[in-house]
Amino acid sequence: KAGVTQTPRYLIKTRGQQVTLSCSPISGHRSVSWYQQTPGQGLQFLFEYFSETQRNKGNFPGRFSGRQFSNSRSEMNVSTLELGDSALYLCASSLVPTTDGYTFGSGTRLTVV
């Protein structure tokens, strides 16, 4: 079965712009979580969605937002981009919010110039 699909794979934006990243979970998975990974840093949790509702949120400014659609696909939006937002953004999906593990996508590499 298809894995977690993230689009686009690469993105270049300028400071001040906004960006929307997309994540399609594994078929049947209803929970989607987002992470930011900067060079040399560990994964930082952004937020988690289940059944179109945000269940958990990490310590990121309000410029970072997300949503989940009825088909479980999720989008993440970053407004007023800053140079420090350059990172690999990863999405992971699971059947339900669970501590039993989830499957990650390949990520979207965002570069802010």
Partner 1 sequence: KNQVEQSPQSLIILEGKNCTLQCNYTVSPFSNLRWYKQDTGRGPVSLTIMTFSENTKSNGRYTATLDADTKQSSLHITASQLSDSASYICVVSHTNAGKSTFGDGTTLTVKP
- Which residues are at the interface with partner 1 (CB under 8 A)? 4, 6, 31, 41-43, 45, 48, 50, 55-56, 88, 90, 92, 97-101, 103-107, 109
Residue number, 79 or 109, with CB nearest to partner 1 = 109
Cα distances (angstroms) measured from residue 95 to each of 27, 44, 56, 67: 9, 21, 16, 17
Residue number, 65 or 97, with CB nearest to partner 1 = 97
User: What minimum distance in Å lies between the beta carbon of 35 and partner 1?
Assistant: 8
On the CB side of 106, CA atoms within 13 Å amount to: 8
Residue number, 14 or 56, with CB nearest to partner 1 = 56
Q: What sign for the dihedral angle of Cα 51, 52, 54, 56?
A: positive
